């Protein structure tokens, strides 16, 4: 039960309690602390339930960015076999912030695509903190069209603060690259499943998420803008990110209620970072269940299904 090396503020009481339990267990060879350990473990379970059963939208946002949360390549390792990475956009360069390639899910060939963040400074510099440049989106488009050519389902994993807004990226056509992906994904004749595993930031997320089914992990977020940026624009105050998160309604529960996403994938209590293997197992069950009926549809039916899904978003009524 060793506590993680990193803890959010609202996690700290639980982490400190777990460390006390670990200390008692390490001393149990010389004395019998079993009664005390059982009492503290019961208290830890109760505290964990209290903390994570009523998280605010801002706390969910923090949890979605937890540096120990499983990333795309973690899920690849836990859920798929025979992953073979494909690189480059065949036009400019390779972008490591989006990773893609062939894999097998229960023996079935699929195309995987996902944003990838880093665990440390060196990895984050390589992955650009999960913020793709135009060549990343063009690589994604190339691989999705390749999947269509071979008639293989596409599974995408969203986890990005947003597309990289640097001058070089803008010069190389960032907006065009994202727009082209939206257009291409809308007409692909193979099943597409997308799952938001962490942050779903604006067009940088949507560029690989125009799917037949969009899923969200329980403690993930999906929004047109980050709470911090929204706070700066809307309230002229960067310290009001918590208020902005409430206004944005950006959590998985909010978006399921708004019918923007199709299913909320439950996480282990305490978040996916506390039990990545179990989180992957739960995600795998949902992916298999959602993919099965799509495999029975032909190309035109899949396109029509995707069209109707996105056209149904955002209905409103004028009264009075």
* Residue percentage of the chain with pLDDT more than 70: 96
* pLDDT over 90 at 6, yes or no: no
Q: What is the pLDDT of residue 4?
A: 55
Cα separation, 158 vs 206, in Å, equals: 8
* pLDDT over 70 at 3, yes or no: no
What number is the average pLDDT over the span 142-161? 97
Sequence-distant (6+) residues with CB within 8 A of 57 are: 242, 245, 246, 248, 249, 250, 251, 254
Q: How far is CA 106 from CA 99, 103, 306, in A?
A: 21, 10, 25
Angle at 172 between CA 166 and CA 76, to 5 degrees: 75
164 is written with which tokens? 């990289």
* pLDDT over 70 at 172, yes or no: yes
Q: What is the pLDDT of residue 59?
A: 92
Q: What is the pLDDT of residue 28?
A: 62
Residue 307: CB atoms within 10 Å = 12
Work out the mean pLDDT of the chain and round it to a whole number.
91
* pLDDT over 90 at 27, yes or no: no
Angle at 85 between CA 90 and CA 296, to 5 degrees: 100
What number is the average pLDDT over the span 22-43? 72
Q: Which of 37-41, 109-113, 191-195, 281-285 has the lowest mean pLDDT?
A: 37-41
The answer to whether residues 117 and 164 touch, using CB atoms and an 8 Å cutoff, is no
What number is the average pLDDT over the span 32-56? 77
CATH superfamily name and code, 61-311: 2-enoyl-CoA Hydratase; Chain A, domain 1 (3.90.226.10)
Backbone angles phi, psi at 99, to 5 degrees: -115, 140
* pLDDT over 90 at 145, yes or no: yes
Provide the whole-model pTM: 0.89
Sequence-distant (6+) residues with CB within 8 A of 105 are: 79, 80, 155, 287, 288, 291
Q: What is the pLDDT of residue 1?
A: 43
């Amino acid at each position: 039960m060793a506590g993680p090396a990193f803890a959010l503020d609202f996690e700290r009481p639980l982490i400190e309690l777990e460390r006390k339990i670990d200390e008692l267990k390490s001393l149990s060879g010389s004395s019998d602390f079993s009664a005390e350990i059982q009492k503290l473990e019961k208290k830890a379970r109760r505290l964990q339930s209290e903390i994570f059963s009523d998280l605010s939208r801002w706390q969910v946002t923090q949890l979605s960015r937890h540096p120990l949360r499983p990333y795309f390549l973690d899920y690849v390792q836990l859920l798929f076999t025979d992953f073979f990475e494909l690189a480059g956009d065949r036009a400019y360069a390779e972008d490591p912030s989006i990773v893609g390639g062939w894999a097998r899910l229960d023996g079935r060939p699929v195309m995987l695509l996902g944003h990838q963040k880093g665990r440390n400074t060196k990895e984050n510099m390589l992955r650009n903190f999960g913020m793709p440049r135009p060549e990343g989106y063009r690589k994604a488009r190339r691989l999705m069209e390749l999947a269509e050519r071979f008639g293989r389902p596409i599974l995408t994993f969203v986890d990005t603060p947003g597309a990289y807004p640097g001058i070089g990226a803008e010069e190389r056509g960032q907006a065009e690259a994202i727009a082209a992906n939206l257009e291409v994904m809308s007409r692909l004749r193979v099943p597409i499943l997308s799952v938001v595993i962490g942050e779903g930031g604006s067009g940088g997320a949507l560029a690989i998420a125009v799917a037949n089914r969009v899923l969200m992990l329980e403690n993930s977020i999906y929004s047109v803008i980050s709470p911090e940026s929204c706070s700066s624009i809307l309230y002229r105050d960067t310290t009001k990110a918590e208020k902005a998160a409430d206004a944005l309604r950006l959590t998985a529960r909010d978006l399921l209620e708004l019918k923007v996403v199709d299913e909320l994938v439950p996480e282990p209590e305490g978040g996916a970072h506390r039990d990545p293997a179990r989180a992957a197992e739960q995600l795998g069950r949902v992916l298999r269940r959602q993919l099965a009926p799509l495999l029975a549809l032909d190309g035109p039916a899949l396109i029509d299904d995707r069209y109707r899904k996105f056209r149904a978003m955002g209905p409103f009524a004028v009264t009075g």
